[in-house]
Chain A
Amino acid sequence: DAGVTQSPTHLIKTRGQQVTLRCSPKSGHDTVSWYQQALGQGPQFIFQYYEEEERQRGNFPDRFSGHQYPNYSSELNVNALLLGDSALYLCASGETGAPYEQYFGPGTRLTVT
Chain B
Amino acid sequence: AQKITQTQPGMFVQEKEAVTLDCTYDTSDQSYGLFWYKQPSSGEMIFLIYQGSYDEQNATEGRYSLNFQKARKSANLVISASQLGDSAMYFCAMREGRSGAGSYQLTFGKGTKLSVIP
Residues of A within 8 A of B (CB): 31, 33, 35, 41-45, 48, 50-51, 55-56, 58, 88, 90, 92, 94, 96, 99-100, 102-107, 109
Whether A48 lies near B105 (C-beta < 8 A) is yes
Whether A43 lies near B104 (C-beta < 8 A) is no
Residues of B within 8 A of A (CB): 4, 33, 35, 37, 42-47, 50, 52, 91, 93, 95, 100-111
**Contacts between the two chains (Cβ within 8 Å), count:** 69
- Once A31-B101, A31-B104, A50-B102 are accepted as A-B contacts, the answer to whether A102 and B42 lie under 8 Å apart by CB is no
Question: Most A CB atoms within 10 A — which of B102, B108, B109?
Answer: B102
- Once A99-B33, A100-B50, A102-B95 are accepted as A-B contacts, the answer to whether A48 and B43 lie under 8 Å apart by CB is no
- Once A43-B45, A107-B44 are accepted as A-B contacts, the answer to whether A55 and B102 lie under 8 Å apart by CB is yes
Q: Given the complex, which residues of A lie within 8 Å of B104, measured CB to CB?
A: 31, 33, 48, 56, 92, 94, 99, 102
| Among A94, A96, A106, contact of B44 (Cβ-Cβ < 8 Å) | A106
- Bound together, the chains give a CA A96 to CA B106 distance in angstroms of 15
A107 and chain B: residue at smallest CB distance? B43
Q: Given the complex, which residues of A lie within 8 Å of B91, measured CB to CB?
A: 42-43
Can you show 25 pairs from A to B with CB atoms below 8 A apart?
Answer: A31-B104, A33-B104, A41-B111, A42-B91, A42-B108, A43-B106, A45-B107, A50-B101, A50-B102, A51-B101, A55-B102, A56-B105, A92-B104, A92-B106, A96-B101, A99-B33, A99-B104, A100-B33, A102-B104, A103-B47, A104-B44, A104-B47, A106-B42, A106-B44, A107-B43
